[in-house]
Amino acid sequence: MDAQTSVNSGVAPRSVTLARRRLRIALLLCATMITIYFGFMALFAFDKPLLGTVLAPGLSLCIVLGPLVIVSSFLLCLIYVLWANRVFDASLRDLER
């Protein structure tokens, strides 16, 4: 086994580990978004009176939760981007060295 082969054999397991970490993060964030979205939809389907709860004159719980679902998707995207920029890209640069 020459030096190049031994270096490459260490890169492959690290790249697989990095790919698995990325997949885990993506699945976790995706599951979180699905839970939030379908939870909101389940409230529409099964508990409309709860969504109709008036929090203030002209403001129901549904009006508050709807935009929160959208904002949560942006926050989850931001979490992924921050993780990718700080952890994934740095690890990828280490693999390339």
The answer to whether the pTM exceeds 0.75 is yes
Q: From CA 4, how far away is CA 97, in angstroms rounded?
A: 13
Q: What DSSP state is assigned to residue 57? A: T
**b/e per residue 64-78 (b: at least 16 CB within 10 A):** ebeeeeeeeeeebee
| Tens digits of residue pLDDT in 39-88 | 999 999 999 999 999 999 999 999 999 999 999 999 999 999 999 999 99
Bridge partners of residue 59, in order along the sequence? 56
